[in-house]
Amino acid sequence: MANTTNDAQVMLRMHDIHKSFGELAVLKGIDIEVRRGEVLAIIGPSGSGKSTLLRCINKLETIDSGSIEIEGEFLADTNEHGVAEYADLKKSRELLSHTGMVFQQFNLFPHMTVIENLIEAPMQVKSMKKAEILPYARELLAKVGLSDRADYYPSQLSGGQQQRVAIARALCMQPDIMLFDEPTSALDPELTGEVLKTMRELAAERMTMVVVTHEMAFAREAASQVIFMADGNIVEQGDPETFFNRPQEERTKAFLKNML
Ligand SMILES: Nc1ncnc2c1ncn2[C@@H]1O[C@H](COP(=O)(O)OP(=O)(O)OP(=O)(O)O)[C@@H](O)[C@H]1O
Ligand SMILES: [Mg+2]
């Protein structure tokens, strides 16, 4: 039932997120909202908290206070003592199964072939039968242009190919929201293009995506909103056209000047 109400559905909402590592405050009150089919690009200097923010979405890190809603349900919310409280394990797992993540360093299982990498989580986590998931896994491999590499091991692939396998693997769990943490920054420049192409195609299919990236051209073309983070705060945010052509804040201007 794809109607306008559904299209406007908030897939992810984070409100007033605070997170410290010991004495170091890394996230200082972050608010984001991502609707169905939107691509949120997060940019900013090293150490600004981008990865931490992304990792908080799927509970690889926990927040100190604030709230995280996934498709309208609370993964975490601040209690009366001002401390974040998480949904119970069963509920958290259910909500997190809506998300898929792709890391800078691919993180494929080295002892498994490409196709085995794809079907492992659906079989283990969703208890799907091999015969049940295999056709879908093959479809995804075709989609990322690697049908002919199904039986290769990760070490036999280029970095760009490995990253496309990692994307197909995340998609094999049928997530509603894809999270990418600098998916191309470990790649040689000539290999980033093929990964960005796959991501552009996903965006064109209206996959909801949160992408931490240094690829300004990708953010400009594929994102629906861009956020610039520095020192644990959102300094500036907007639609790509406004953000890149008419940035308001000095820090944003300086950062963008450096990136070009
Ligand atoms: N597990 C951790 N323990 C302690 N400090 C951490 C941990 N993870 C991150 N930090 C610190 O938090 C700050 C933000 O790190 P984060 O990785 O989120 O930055 P980033 O914006 O992703 O940077 P980059 O662009 O280099 O990837 C940094 O100062 C980092 O050293
Ligand atoms: Mg990072």
Nearest protein Cα to ligand 1, atom 13: 47
Distance (Å) from CA 5 to ligand 1 centroid: 37
Distance (Å) from CA 53 to ligand 1 centroid: 10
Per-residue pLDDT of the chain (260 residues), as tens digits, is: 444 455 579 999 999 999 999 999 999 999 999 999 999 999 999 999 999 999 999 999 999 999 999 999 999 999 999 999 999 999 999 999 999 999 999 899 999 999 999 999 999 999 999 999 999 999 999 999 999 999 999 999 999 999 999 999 999 999 999 999 999 999 998 899 999 999 999 999 999 999 999 999 999 999 999 999 999 999 999 999 999 999 999 999 999 999 87
The pLDDT tens digits for 152-173 are 999 999 999 999 999 999 999 9
CB neighbours of residue 151 within 10 Å: 10
Nearest to 209 by CA among 244, 235, 240, 171: 171
Q: How far apart are CA 126 and CA 52, in angstroms?
A: 27
This prediction's pTM: 0.94
CB-CB contact of 70 with 99 (8 Å): yes
The pLDDT tens digits for 65-78 are 999 999 999 999 99
Ligand 1 binding site (Cβ under 6 Å of any ligand atom)? 21, 24, 26, 44, 46-52
Which helix (H) or strand (E) segment is 114 a member of?
Answer: helix 114-125
Instruction: Identify residues whose C-beta is under 5 A from ligand 2, the ion.
Output: 51
Q: How far apart are CA 162 and CA 153, in angstroms?
A: 9
Estimate the crossing angle of helix 189-204 against helix 159-171, to 10 degrees: 20
Nearest protein Cα to ligand 1, atom 26: 46
CB within 8 A of 162, min separation 6: which ones? 106, 108, 154
Give residue 226's identity as a one-letter amino acid code.
V
Distance (Å) from CA 130 to ligand 2 centroid: 35
Nearest protein Cα to ligand 1, atom 24: 46
Strand 39-43 relative to strand 84-86: parallel, antiparallel, unpaired?
unpaired
Question: 13: which strand partners?
Answer: 33, 69
> Could you give phi then psi for residue 136, rounded to 5 degrees?
-70, -40
Nearest to 152 by CA among 160, 162, 143: 162
Nearest to 184 by CA among 213, 223, 219: 213
Pair of tokens at residue 225: 């909103």
Pair of tokens at residue 38: 């939107």
